[in-house]
Structure 1
Amino acid sequence: MRSFMKKVAFATAMAAAPLMAASTASADGERYVFVSHAPDSDSWWNTIKTALGVAEGQLGVTVEYRNPPTGDIGDMARIVEQAAASGPDGIIVSIADFDALSGPIRDAVDQGIPVITVNSGTHEQSASMGALMHIGQPEYDAGNAAGMRAAKAGVKSFLCVNHYITNGASVERCQGFADAIGADLGNQMIDSGQDPAEIKNKVLAYLSANPDTGAVLTLGPTSAAPTINALKENGMAGDIYFGTFDLSAEIATGIKEDIISWAIDQQPFFQGYLPIVLLTNYNRYGLLVPHNINSGPGFVTKDTIDAVADMAGEFR
């Protein structure tokens, strides 16, 4: 009985303090690969890179960040295959395109590699591929919550500036917003591309052709900064209702200057940090949180921006 109680006490202690144990256990060469869909030009992922570095240092593991330089999904699928072939202790991957990535991700799982999906994708997609869990923001719900805020302000039409229209999550954001304000998405969503000058010109052209547009929604720093410039140029900055996803220095300034009403914070730091912590504890001790984790949405407004502005682009 005494031996049994000792085992129970040990197991309980390990479950209660996995992070403390992980910090002192031998890393034994653990290596994880984080595969994102982001092109090199997308600065939003810098926060996730920061988080990976923090987790790497705290846990004594190696973390490799890999991505397709131009954001090409075919290249991303090949990167997942290459990552699996290298025999890592775990893979973290965004589900930017389920049809293109489900095969390589399933293959990694079938090889016995633990996988956690993050950012883009749904809980259901993650589970169907055999991933341990999904960590991210339910994108339709986030867009819908944003639209409900806009509806209370009387918004009935909008422009969704979609800089990554091939990613289903981006469309879900726009659709959720449209449903909340009672509008058909239709041509209110534009494929802006990722070139800043092109984004600015497309926003100017749309608002010129649709002067009664009630709001603008951007989906991240890539489209937010050029849209701010467009609104300053056409004189609508501060007059048209403007909300955005994610944070950056430019977005923080836009909130402070009353150009942007709010920014949705999906806490990307958690999307980088938590998978490494969870996979490390899974591999070392067999511990796993038994559910998916929603890292957002949260709303940052002028009332709260001062608390996070200095961390935008690094930890927020």
Structure 2
Amino acid sequence: MNPPLPVPPSSSLPRSLRLAALAAACCLVLAGCSGADLAASTTDRAGGSADHIKIALITHGAKDDAFWELVRKGAEAAAAKDGVDLTYASDSDGAGQAELVRHAVRDKVDGIAVTLAKPQALRTPVAAAKAAGIPVVGLNSGIDAWRSAGLLEYFGQDESVAGRAVGDKLDGLDVKHALCVIHERGNVALEARCAGVKKTFTGETDMLYVDGTDMDAMTAAVTTRLRQDPDIDEVITNGAQFAIAAVKAAGEAGSKARIATFDLNKDLVTAVRDGRVQFAVDQQPYLQGYLAVDGLWLHRTNGNVSGGGVAPVLTGPAFVTRANVAQVARLAAAGTR
């Protein structure tokens, strides 16, 4: 047994330090523990950093999509700060994404961050994660489904609110006929955006469904629609890359329609700055990825629940226009907007 640690006279130390020294001495005398044991115990209580936490981020994002790269960058920044072992996987197909969640459960991760673009497909694997004691948080898609699905927290934009805000803005710009382009059929977030636009915009709103995985086909579909209906004076897309394609489509169709979009990337920032795109709605994807990982880490190490488990943590909408695009451009150049 190690000899007891000497405890300084009570008059030479503050009461809190005298208690800490006495606790250390008792640990060594009564339990025979080492100084390393004491340090490890203290580290666990201070924040759980003695454990190497594994978190899986599983989205419906397309491969090499600039938007999802921002989500991933934010998640990686939080993981680096928190000392988290982060894995990222994605599948735009609901069944494929569900299988990725099941794989994370089998891998016995400590937390899962998931998008609920197709909530029904994710209900069973999310339930399996919960049954295994793995906390699951939502981000980006599924603001109307995360609580019923049993998720712990949600980080993202209320897409219906964002859509209504766009509808109001179109009225302010004297738009008469808008075309809202949905590039992924069945994606609840995209549907909610266009429905929100239609709800508040006093002009006419049409929907156009296209294949977002084929940019040439998407461009051709928008071009054809603009030729068929020359009254359309605004095209609203649901992704920065689709907005750039819509600019091209308007030119090919000889249309005077202006372009606006949800979401942002570096190319879109340039397009807003030079006037090719009127405005963008930024939901801050970097922040979504960051908060999702950090939220799981805080829950694991400190028992925190962002939003109290009853309210989402909103990251948008924020409008990017020519009036404020210069500031955004500096952040986009750094790869965080």
The two structures have a TM-score, normalised by structure 1, of 0.86
Find the partner of 1:56 among 79, 82, 87. Answer: 79
AA in 1 matched with 2:126: I
CA shift at 1:220, angstroms?
Answer: 0.6
Structure-2 change in CA distance of 1:22 and 1:138 (3 Å): farther
Residue 65, structure 1, aligned to residue 88, structure 2 = yes
Counterpart-to-counterpart distance in 1, 2:282 and 2:219: 23
CA shift at 1:193, angstroms?
Answer: 3.0
Is the CA contact 1:22–1:281 (under 8 Å) kept in the aligned structure 2? no
Counterpart-to-counterpart distance in 2, 1:292 and 1:299: 20
* Residue of structure 2 equivalent to 1:169: 189
Residue 26, structure 1, aligned to residue 43, structure 2 = no
Counterpart-to-counterpart distance in 1, 2:45 and 2:187: 35
Find the partner of 2:327 among 278, 298, 307. Answer: 307
Which deviates the most, 304-313 or 268-277?
Answer: 304-313
CA shift at 1:87, angstroms?
Answer: 0.9
* Residue of structure 2 equivalent to 1:143: 163
CA shift at 1:279, angstroms?
Answer: 1.2
Matching of residues 127-138 of structure 1 within 5 Å: 127-138=147-158
Matching of residues 1-316 of structure 1 within 5 Å: 26-68=49-91, 71-122=92-143, 124-182=144-202, 185=205, 187-236=206-255, 239-289=256-306, 290=308, 291-312=311-332, 314-316=335-337
Counterpart-to-counterpart distance in 2, 1:161 and 1:282: 38
Is the CA contact 1:160–1:217 (under 8 Å) kept in the aligned structure 2? yes
CA shift at 1:222, angstroms?
Answer: 3.4
Counterpart-to-counterpart distance in 1, 2:216 and 2:312: 38
Is the CA contact 1:22–1:59 (under 8 Å) kept in the aligned structure 2? no
Structure-2 change in CA distance of 1:229 and 1:44 (3 Å): same
CA shift at 1:246, angstroms?
Answer: 0.9
Is the CA contact 2:243–2:259 (under 8 Å) kept in the aligned structure 1? no
Counterpart-to-counterpart distance in 2, 1:30 and 1:47: 22
* Residue of structure 2 equivalent to 1:11: none
In the TM superposition, what whole-angstrom CA distance separates every residue of 1:250-305 from its partner, at most 9, and x where no partner exists? 21121112121110010111110012112111111212221420110010100111
Structure 2: stretches of 5+ with no match in the other structure: 1-14, 20-43
In the TM superposition, what whole-angstrom CA distance separates every residue of 1:83-103 from its partner, at most 9, and x where no partner exists? 111111100000011111111
Runs of 4+ aligned structure 1 residues displaced above 4 Å come to 21-25
Is the CA contact 1:161–1:192 (under 8 Å) kept in the aligned structure 2? no
Is the CA contact 2:115–2:140 (under 8 Å) kept in the aligned structure 1? yes
The two structures have a TM-score, normalised by structure 2, of 0.81
Counterpart-to-counterpart distance in 2, 1:297 and 1:27: 38
How many residues align? The count is 293
- Identity among equivalent positions (%) equals 31
SS for the counterpart of 1:253 is helix
Is the CA contact 1:194–1:223 (under 8 Å) kept in the aligned structure 2? no
CA shift at 1:235, angstroms?
Answer: 4.1
SS for the counterpart of 1:158 is strand
Counterpart-to-counterpart distance in 1, 2:45 and 2:231: 56
Counterpart-to-counterpart distance in 1, 2:67 and 2:151: 24
AA in 2 matched with 1:270: L
* Residue of structure 2 equivalent to 1:13: none
CA shift at 1:189, angstroms?
Answer: 2.6
CA shift at 1:47, angstroms?
Answer: 0.6
CA shift at 1:134, angstroms?
Answer: 1.0
Is the CA contact 1:228–1:254 (under 8 Å) kept in the aligned structure 2? no
Counterpart-to-counterpart distance in 2, 1:113 and 1:25: 16
Counterpart-to-counterpart distance in 1, 2:45 and 2:280: 35
* Residue of structure 1 equivalent to 2:6: none
AA in 1 matched with 2:62: P
CA shift at 1:41, angstroms?
Answer: 3.9
CA shift at 1:310, angstroms?
Answer: 3.8
The two structures, once aligned, show a CA RMSD in angstroms of: 2.3
Q: Which has the larger radius of gyration?
A: 2
Structure 1: stretches of 5+ with no match in the other structure: 7-20
SS for the counterpart of 1:200 is helix
